């Protein structure tokens, strides 16, 4: 017969091994699994392994006890393997105390302990979501509501934080390592997780039902143009056209709404930059993954909590121009750095690749003009527009469907001298082909 919860806790306290303790818990789980109905934990319709709801209810109690009475051990466990083993043993002991009979566990004991300890060590209930490669975005709309973009579709999950304080604790873990401050005096913050994922949070009272946390996960998967053709992102003819354009040093602007795959396409196009050339890339948050032997990667820096220390993309671009670049790549043109980019292109730098948020190819060019104007140079709109149309050779526009499919809607060659309302003409359709411009 399996030992009761108090017995397990007592034996564990006397030095029982982790393996023996897990065996006892497994025996209890086997008995309970025959009688207790399984409840899904996680996705609403995803069928990942189940645990008894009573064990799930015990989890926040155990987490609270660890946070209140064993915080020093928890802090060490986040960086030291020995402390991490002790934390797992502690969680196992507390689980046995919270479930006084063997019937209170269903599912493997290892799974229960892993979930609780992983929650404490990682980023709460979003730890599993961060590890799921199908997920591209995580959206926390307050402690009790977590959504994800899964395979291109928004889905609601059953994951939730214990309460607002639990969510605040996770926010501190996310932003503190990068020196970001988020509190009532600084109610929003941008940061980056160790794996490169971008995080943004905003606190009440600005976030009425918050705190809100949005994480754009770093895409570790690399796609080349051939793979994008296979995925129907663009036609084979468009891929060949763009490959040749990159090799010939055309200046290319990639436009589209958020989440349309602009950075993915930029990465794929960059593979066709001749290896004999020196490439300098500039980003707000590092997302590019160029496979090029001569690549210099620059990233802007947010201001410190006291407001000092900010390094903007505009300043980085000025420095990049002194680094003898053959190619300049900009992750996203979004501010006054557009003026430096335009200056570079009008003075002979060719083969630039950049992305911009826009609703269409014509809007993309007008947006670049407006961003240049933010530099307050006093240059008339018409002059800036003419220069932009003179130096940008191609605009690639991407779309995203409601079902999450992303594709190149058009490849357009810029026609110099046309009116601002219609500054481009179609050169190659992404779906069905067309005539080269």
In terms of domains, do 110 and 131 share one? no
Phi-psi region of 90 (alpha: psi -120 to 50; beta: other; left: phi over 0): alpha
Closest CA to 420 of 387, 378, 379, 394: 387
DSSP per-residue letters across 54-111:
HHHHHHHHHHHHHHHH-HHHHHHHTT-HHHHHHHHHHHHHHHHHHS-SGGG--S-HHH
State residue 41's pLDDT score.
31
Give dist(CA 112, CA 129) in Å, integer.
Answer: 17
State residue 155's pLDDT score.
92
Give backbone dihedrals phi and psi of 188, rounded to 5 degrees, phi first: -145, 160
State residue 353's pLDDT score.
96
Q: Is 104 exposed, middle or buried (0-12, 13-18, 19+ CB in 10 A)?
A: buried
pLDDT tens readout for residues 316-352: 999 999 999 999 999 899 999 999 999 999 888 899 9
When divided into structural domains, the chain yields a total of 3
Beta strands, E only, 373-421? 394-400, 406-414
- The DSSP bridge pattern shows strands 279-283 and 295-299 to be parallel
Q: What CATH number did the domain enclosing 200 receive?
A: 3.30.450.370
State residue 234's pLDDT score.
92
For the chain, count helices (H), then strands (E). 15, 14
Looking at 57, 88, 121, the residue that finishes a domain is 121
- Angle between helix 18-35 and 5-13 (nearest 10): 170
Q: What CATH number did the domain enclosing 257 receive?
A: 3.40.50.300
In terms of domains, do 117 and 131 share one? no
In the three-class reduction of DSSP (H, G, I as helix; E, B as strand; rest coil), residue 257 is classed as coil
State residue 46's pLDDT score.
37
In terms of domains, do 187 and 115 share one? no
The parent domain of residue 40 ranges over 5-121
- 434 in a domain, yes or no? no
In terms of domains, do 62 and 92 share one? yes
In terms of domains, do 15 and 52 share one? yes
In terms of domains, do 403 and 289 share one? yes
In terms of domains, do 167 and 255 share one? no
In terms of domains, do 240 and 173 share one? no
Task: Give me the tens of pLDDT residue by residue for the chain, a chain 437 residues long.
Answer: 333 333 323 323 333 343 443 444 344 334 333 333 333 334 343 333 444 566 667 777 887 888 888 888 887 776 676 787 888 888 888 877 777 653 445 444 566 776 777 777 778 888 778 878 889 899 999 999 999 998 778 899 988 887 888 899 899 888 887 777 888 888 988 888 877 788 999 999 999 988 999 998 877 677 899 999 999 999 999 999 999 999 999 999 999 998 899 999 999 999 999 999 999 999 887 788 887 899 999 988 877 767 788 898 999 999 999 999 999 999 899 999 999 999 999 888 899 999 999 999 999 999 999 999 998 888 999 999 999 999 999 999 999 988 788 999 999 998 765 543 334 444 444 443 333 33
In terms of domains, do 155 and 106 share one? no
Answering whether pTM is above 0.75, one says no
- 330 in a domain, yes or no? yes
- 435 in a domain, yes or no? no
pLDDT tens readout for residues 31-44: 333 333 333 334 34
- 391 in a domain, yes or no? yes
Looking at 121, 153, 183, the residue that finishes a domain is 121
In terms of domains, do 279 and 298 share one? yes
- 51 in a domain, yes or no? yes
E strand or H helix at 31, and its extent?
A: helix 18-35
Give dist(CA 243, CA 236) in Å, integer.
Answer: 11
Judge contact between 279 and 273, C-beta under 8 A: yes
pLDDT tens readout for residues 171-230: 988 888 777 788 888 898 888 887 778 899 999 999 998 899 999 887 767 789 999 999
- Reduced to 3 DSSP states, what percent helix, strand and coil does the chain have, rounded to the nearest 5? 40, 20, 40
In terms of domains, do 101 and 177 share one? no
In terms of domains, do 324 and 180 share one? no
Looking at 179, 198, 216, the residue that finishes a domain is 216
């Amino acid at each position: 017969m399996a030992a009761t919860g108090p017995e397990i806790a007592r034996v564990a306290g006397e030095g029982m091994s982790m393996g023996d303790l897990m065996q006892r818990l497994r025996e209890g789980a086997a008995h309970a699994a025959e009688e207790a109905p399984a409840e899904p934990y996680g996705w609403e319709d995803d069928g990942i392994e189940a645990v008894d709801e009573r064990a799930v209810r015990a989890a926040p109690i155990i987490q609270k006890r660890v946070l209140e009475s064993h915080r020093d051990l928890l802090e060490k466990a986040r960086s030291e393997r020995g402390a991490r083993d002790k934390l797992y043993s502690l969680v196992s002991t507390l689980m046995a105390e919270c479930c006084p009979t063997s019937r209170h566990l269903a599912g493997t004991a290892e799974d229960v302990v892993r979930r609780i300890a992983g929650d404490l060590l990682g980023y709460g209930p979003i730890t599993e979501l961060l590890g799921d490669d199908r997920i591209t975005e995580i959206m926390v709309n307050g402690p009790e509501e977590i959504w994800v973009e899964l395979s291109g579709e928004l889905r609601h999950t059953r994951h939730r934080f214990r309460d607002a304080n639990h969510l605040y604790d996770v926010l501190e873990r996310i932003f503190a390592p990068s020196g970001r401050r988020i509190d009532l005096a600084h109610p929003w913050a941008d940061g980056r997780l160790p794996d490169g994922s971008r995080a943004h949070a905003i606190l009440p009272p600005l976030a009425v039902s918050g705190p809100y946390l949005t994480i754009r996960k770093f895409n570790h998967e690399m796609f080349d143009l051939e793979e994008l053709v296979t995925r129907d992102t663009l036609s084979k003819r468009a891929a060949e056209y763009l490959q040749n354009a990159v090799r010939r040093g055309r200046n290319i602007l990639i436009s589209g709404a958020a989440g349309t795959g602009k950075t993915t396409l930029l990465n794929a196009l960059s593979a066709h930059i001749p290896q004999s050339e020196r490439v300098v890339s500039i980003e707000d948050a590092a997302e590019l993954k160029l496979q090029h032997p001569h690549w210099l990667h620059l990233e802007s820096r947010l201001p410190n909590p006291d407001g000092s220390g900010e390094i903007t993309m505009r300043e980085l671009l000025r420095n990049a121009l002194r680094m003898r670049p053959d190619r300049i790549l900009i992750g996203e043109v979004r501010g006054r750095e557009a003026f430096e980019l335009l200056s570079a292109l009008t003075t002979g730098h060719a083969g630039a690749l950049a992305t911009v948020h826009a609703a269409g190819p014509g809007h993309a060019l007008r947006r670049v003009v407006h961003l240049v104007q933010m530099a307050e140079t006093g240059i008339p709109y018409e002059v800036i527009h003419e220069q932009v149309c003179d130096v940008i050779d191609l605009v690639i526009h991407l779309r995203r469907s409601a079902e999450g499919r992303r594709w190149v809607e058009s490849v357009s060659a810029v026609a110099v001298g046309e009116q601002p309302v219609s500054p481009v003409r179609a050169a190659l359709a992404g779906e069905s082909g067309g005539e080269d411009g």
